[in-house]
Amino acid sequence: MIINNEYLLFFAGIILLIKGADWLIAGASSMGKKWGLSSFMIGMTIIAFGTSLPELIVSILSTIEGSEGIALGNIIGSNISNLLLILGISGMIFPMKLSQEVLRKDLVFSIYATILLLLVTMTLGIITPLMGVIFILLFFIFFYSRIKYSKREKFASNNNYNQIELKMIFLLILGSISLYIGGKFIVDSVIIISTTLKISDFVISATAIAIGTSLPELTTSLKALKLKKKNIALGNIVGSNIFNILWVLGFTAIINPITLSTSLAIDIGFLLGGSMIFFLSMFSWKKYYITRKKAILFIFIYLIYITFIILRG
């Protein structure tokens, strides 16, 4: 059986993206612990940013090459995957109780960001560089509001930077290079694959790429839950979704305006609906818990979405 080069390029890109994110997270998390950041703030910022870098690289490269469907499919698909598939799998393996403050503030802010994207799609139909700046400013407002929460739980600060300083720098550089090469591989291969198979680049991005770029969130969350650090796990997922909409789309739009097709309203609406179902489920049945039954429900809803976009083509 002969595998075409574009498929090998695609899988190589996914692997490089995942490893690049891992290396960046390892280096940045070590710095965060030395600076005395809380576990939630490391999850919400350093780790969430690191696990969102694959989406950022793919989005920037795809818009530069004129394939906005890849960028949008990647962002929307990744957020749906994070919320329903990743938290669903995590909850099946490690049922968890969630912080009320995280649910009422962070998840709600994520829902607001989704509503904003839906409104922009249905009214303006484009994210201009100015809108991109507004998106980024909204992210920093959110980030600033969470600093107070992070002060409640701190690591002991370690000022002995010399011991692993070179290792941290090496991991950051290696991770950045891997992310760029992996992103380039994915964008180039998806353009070829979508043309060959005569399906939209959005479908490939919202399924294969979205799941691939969500793997760092899954591995990070499972590792955190195994160590009983649920704040890192949840902060990673919610933080990544906020990063994806406000930071990734905002930053990408500053480089190159992003045109939003009205058909995207269905996908964004599904993300909004999934977010609302997740939020409301946390206040019913077993309050504030992701039980195995709830986790199965989330995964089932995700499979419905995947089936829908594949049939839609």
pLDDT tens string 130-142: 999 999 999 988 8
Q: What is the mean pLDDT of residues 12-17?
A: 80
Tokens matching residue 173: 């550089």
> What span, in angstroms and rounded, lies between the C-alpha atoms of 16 and 261?
30
Cα–Cα distances (Å) from 312 to 201, 205, 212, 259, 261, in that order, read 13, 14, 21, 20, 15
pTM over 0.85: no
For residue 62, the SS3 value is: helix
What pLDDT is stored for residue 138 in this prediction? 94
Burial of residue 163, with CB atoms counted within 10 A of its CB: 0-12 exposed, 13-18 middle, 19 or more buried: exposed
DSSP 313: -
> How confident is the model over 152-204, as pLDDT tens digits?
554 444 444 444 467 777 777 787 788 778 877 877 787 788 778 788 888 88
What dihedral angle (degrees, nearest 10) is formed by the CA atoms of 120, 124, 127, 128?
Answer: -140
CATH for the stretch 5-150+161-312: 1.20.1420.30
- Reply yes or no on whether the pLDDT at 225 is more than 90: no
DSSP calls for 150-173: HTTS-PPP---GGGTHHHHHHHHH
Token digits of residue 199: 């399906």
| Structure-block tokens of residue 169 | 């720098």
Whole-number Å distance between alpha carbons of 291 and 305: 22
Mean pLDDT of 268-272: 94
